[in-house]
C-alpha cells in the first residue's frame, strides 16, 4: 500500500465524492449484501449465539480492566517460550523496532500477513523509506498494493474493486513487483486466483523475514493466533527464518480456553463461514521447525487513551470481524475510504476518535456523526459493542471540546432548543407561530416552497436539496385541543 489517508477531508465531503461513483456503489451494495446474507445464515444456526456474544464481551472486559497484569503475564510467557518482546508506545516506535530487526538481518524485503495493526502504523511506507519492500500476501491486500490504492474494508480491503478492475491491475502491475501476470489473463476468478498464487509463491520462497499481526494473544501460554482464509498466513508464519508480529495490547485473551468463544464467533461474523480455513498458533521458537527468531511488538498507539474512556473503552473488545461494516447502511453507500482511516465503518467512527482524541482535527471529529444511529451495527457485533451509544458519547465530547468559542449554526440552534423546550410558554409560542405560518402559506403547495429553499445555506438548504417540506398545518395539535377539548 503506497497510498495515504493523511490529509483526507472530513466525512461529509469525502462521502459526497464517493457517492458520485456508481461503479463503487454497485460493487459495495453487491458485496456487503452477499456477506450480510451469509453471516445471517450461519449465525441463525447457532442456538446460543447471544450467550457467545455476552461471553466474548465478558472475556474482553476482564482483560481490559486488568490489562496491566495481563500484559506482564503475556510478556513473561512469550519470553519463556523464546520470543523477544518489544514495547511500542506509538506508530513511530513500532516502525523503528520492525525496521531495526530487518536491518539487523540485512534484508531488503519482507512478506506480510494481512494485519490491521501494521496498516494502522503505516509500516509499509516506513520500511520503504529504509529501502525495505513489504509485500502483502493476502489476495485483497495484494490487489490494493499493486493498484497503488487504499483499503476500503477491514476484512475485504479491495471490496470496492470488481474482477475486471482486478484483472487490469494484475496485468499492469505484477511485473514491477515480481513474477508477471500470465499471458492472456482473463477476469475468471479461478484464473485471477492462480495468477496471484504464482506471483506470491515466488515471494514466499525467497523471503527471509515475515511480518504479521495477531488476532489473539493468549496470556498464560504466550501463544499468538492468526485466523485467515487463504493459507498465505501459514506460509508467512512458517517459512521465513525471522518472524515479527505487531500486536495491539488489547488483543489479549487470558487463557487458551477463551479462544473457544472467539473461534466460533469470528469466522461466522466476518466471512460468514462456520470455521475459517487456516488457524495458525505459535508460542515462541520451536527448535525443530518454523522461524528460529520470533519477535513480538506490543503496540499501544492510542489504545490506553481509549481505555481511559469509560463509555468508549468497550470499543477495545473489537476483534476486527467487520460485521458492523457490512451491516451499516452508511458504509454500504460510501465505502471505507470516506472514513479516512484503515478502520472504516461504524467501528472506525468510534475507534479513530477514541484512539486519536477529539477536538484535534476536523476529520476525526466528523466521524462520530457519520451514522444515522440506526443500530444495525450493535445488533451484529459479536462482542456486543454498543456502537450507537459510544457514537452519541463521542458527539458529546466533540461538542464539549468546542464549547467556549463562538457557536456554529448547530450550536445556536441547540441553545435555542434548550430555551424553547425548557418550559411550556416558549414552545407554545413556537407552535402558535407555526400555525400562523401554515394559515398564511396555505395556498402554496409544499413542494413549491421547499424547492425554493434549495440554495439557502445551512440546514434548510441541506434538507430541501432532495426533499420537500411537509405542508404546514393551519392549526397545531395543541391549538386544536384547546379549541375543541379533543372532541371532533
Partner 1 sequence: MVTCINDAFFPETGKAVLRLLQRLGVAVDFPEAQTCCGQPMVNTGYIDEAVPAVRQFTKAFAGYDAIVTPSGSCAGSARHQHKLVAERSGEVGLADAVAEVSPRVYELSEFLVDVLGVTDVGAAFPHKVTYHPTCHSLRMLGVGERPLQLLRAVRDIDLVELPAADQCCGFGGTFAVKNSAVSTAMGQDKIDHVASTGAEYLVAGDNSCLMHIGGMMSRQSTGVQTIHLAQILASTKVMAQ
Q: Which is nearer to partner 1, 194 or 396 (CB)?
A: 396
* Interacting residue with partner 1 among 6, 190, 288, 466 (CB under 8 A): 466
Q: Which is nearer to partner 1, 248 or 368 (CB)?
A: 368
Report d(CA 324, CA 346) in Å as an integer: 6
Cβ(159)–Cβ(165) below 8 Å: no
Residues in region 363-392 near partner 1 by CB under 8 A: 368-376, 378-379, 388, 392
Residues in region 195-214 near partner 1 by CB under 8 A: none
Size of the site for partner 1 (CB under 8 A): 70
Report d(CA 325, CA 319) in Å as an integer: 13
**Residue 133 pairs with which residues in a beta bridge?**
109
Q: Which is nearer to partner 1, 172 or 400 (CB)?
A: 400
Single out the residue of 310, 324, 342 nearest to residue 91, CA to CA.
342
Least Å distance, CB 260 to partner 1, is 29
Cell numbers representing residue 216 in the block: 489473539
CA separation, residue 198 to residues 96, 175, 429, 480 (Å): 32, 12, 74, 76
Least Å distance, CB 415 to partner 1, is 6
Strand order in the sheet with 84-88: 84-88, 293-299, 242-248, 209-212, 109-112, 133-136
Q: Which is nearer to partner 1, 43 or 78 (CB)?
A: 43
Least Å distance, CB 380 to partner 1, is 11
CA separation, residue 114 to residues 15, 32, 144, 305, 338 (Å): 26, 20, 12, 25, 21
Decide the pairing of beta strands 84-88 and 216-218: unpaired
Least Å distance, CB 378 to partner 1, is 7
* Interacting residue with partner 1 among 4, 16, 69, 104 (CB under 8 A): 16
Cβ(97)–Cβ(86) below 8 Å: yes
* Interacting residue with partner 1 among 177, 304, 451, 453 (CB under 8 A): 451
Residue 465 makes contact with partner 1 by CB under 8 A = yes
**Residue 209 pairs with which residues in a beta bridge?**
242
224: DSSP letter: E
The site map against partner 1 for 392-431 (x = CB under 8 A) is x-xxxxxxx---------xx--xx-xxxxxxxx--xx-xx
Least Å distance, CB 25 to partner 1, is 8
Cβ(63)–Cβ(254) below 8 Å: yes
Residue 236 makes contact with partner 1 by CB under 8 A = no
Positions that interact with partner 1 (CB under 8 A): 11-12, 15-16, 19, 25, 329-330, 333-334, 368-376, 378-379, 388, 392, 394-400, 410-411, 414-415, 417-424, 427-428, 430-431, 434, 446-447, 450-451, 459, 462-463, 465-470, 472-473, 475-478, 480-481, 486, 488
Amino acid at each position: 500500500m503506497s497510498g495515504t489517508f493523511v490529509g483526507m477531508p472530513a466525512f461529509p465531503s469525502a462521502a459526497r465524492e464517493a457517492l458520485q461513483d456508481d461503479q463503487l456503489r454497485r460493487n459495495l451494495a453487491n458485496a456487503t449484501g452477499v456477506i450480510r446474507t451469509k453471516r445471517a445464515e450461519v449465525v441463525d444456526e447457532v442456538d446460543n449465539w447471544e450467550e457467545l456474544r455476552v461471553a466474548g464481551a465478558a472475556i474482553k472486559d476482564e482483560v481490559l480492566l486488568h490489562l496491566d497484569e495481563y500484559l506482564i503475564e503475556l510478556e513473561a510467557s512469550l519470553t519463556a517460550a523464546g520470543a523477544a518482546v518489544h514495547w511500542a508506545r506509538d506508530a513511530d516506535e513500532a516502525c523503528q523496532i520492525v525496521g531495526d530487526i530487518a536491518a539487523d538481518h540485512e534484508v531488503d524485503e519482507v512478506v506480510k500477513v494481512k494485519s490491521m495493526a501494521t496498516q494502522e502504523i503505516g509500516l509499509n511506507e516506513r520500511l520503504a523509506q529504509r529501502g525495505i519492500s513489504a509485500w502483502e500476501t493476502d489476495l485483497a491486500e495484494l490487489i490494493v498494493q499493486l493498484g497503488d490504492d487504499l483499503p476500503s474494508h477491514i476484512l475485504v480491503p479491495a471490496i470496492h474493486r470488481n474482477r475486471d478492475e482486478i484483472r487490469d491491475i494484475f496485468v499492469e502491475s505484477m511485473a514491477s513487483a515480481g513474477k508477471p501476470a500470465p499471458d492472456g489473463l482473463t477476469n475468471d476468478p479461478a484464473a485471477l486466483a492462480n495468477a496471484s498464487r504464482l506471483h506470491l509463491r515466488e515471494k514466499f520462497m525467497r523471503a527471509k523475514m515475515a511480518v504479521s499481526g495477531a488476532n489473539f494473544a493468549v496470556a498464560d501460554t504466550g501463544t499468538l493466533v492468526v485466523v485467515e482464509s487463504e493459507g498465505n498466513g501459514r506460509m508467512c508464519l512458517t517459512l521465513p527464518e525471522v518472524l515479527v508480529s505487531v500486536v495491539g495490547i488489547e488483543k489479549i485473551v487470558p487463557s487458551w480456553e477463551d479462544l473457544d468463544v472467539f473461534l466460533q464467533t469470528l469466522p461466522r461474523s466476518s466471512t460468514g463461514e462456520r470455521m475459517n480455513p487456516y488457524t495458525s498458533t505459535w508460542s515462541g521458537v520451536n527448535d525443530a521447525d518454523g522461524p528460529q527468531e520470533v519477535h513480538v511488538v506490543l503496540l499501544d498507539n492510542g489504545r490506553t487513551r481509549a481505555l481511559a474512556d469509560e463509555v468508549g473503552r468497550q470499543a477495545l473488545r473489537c476483534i476486527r470481524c467487520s460485521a458492523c461494516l457490512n451491516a451499516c447502511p452508511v458504509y454500504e453507500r460510501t465505502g471505507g475510504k470516506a472514513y479516512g482511516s484503515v478502520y472504516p465503518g461504524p467501528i472506525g467512527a468510534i475507534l479513530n476518535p477514541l484512539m486519536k482524541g477529539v477536538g484535534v482535527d476536523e476529520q476525526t471529529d466528523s466521524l462520530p456523526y457519520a451514522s444515522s444511529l440506526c443500530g444495525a451495527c450493535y445488533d451484529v457485533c459479536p462482542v456486543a459493542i454498543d456502537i450507537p451509544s459510544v457514537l452519541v458519547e463521542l458527539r458529546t465530547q466533540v461538542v464539549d471540546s468546542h464549547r467556549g468559542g463562538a457557536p456554529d449554526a448547530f450550536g445556536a440552534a441547540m441553545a435555542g432548543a434548550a430555551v424553547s423546550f425548557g418550559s411550556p410558554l416558549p414552545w407554545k409560542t413556537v407552535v402558535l407561530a407555526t400555525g400562523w405560518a401554515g394559515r398564511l402559506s396555505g395556498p402554496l403547495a409544499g413542494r413549491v416552497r421547499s424547492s425554493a429553499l434549495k440554495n439557502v445555506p445551512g440546514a434548510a438548504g441541506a434538507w430541501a436539496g432532495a426533499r420537500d417540506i411537509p405542508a404546514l398545518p393551519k392549526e397545531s395539535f395543541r391549538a386544536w385541543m384547546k379549541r375543541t377539548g379533543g372532541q371532533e
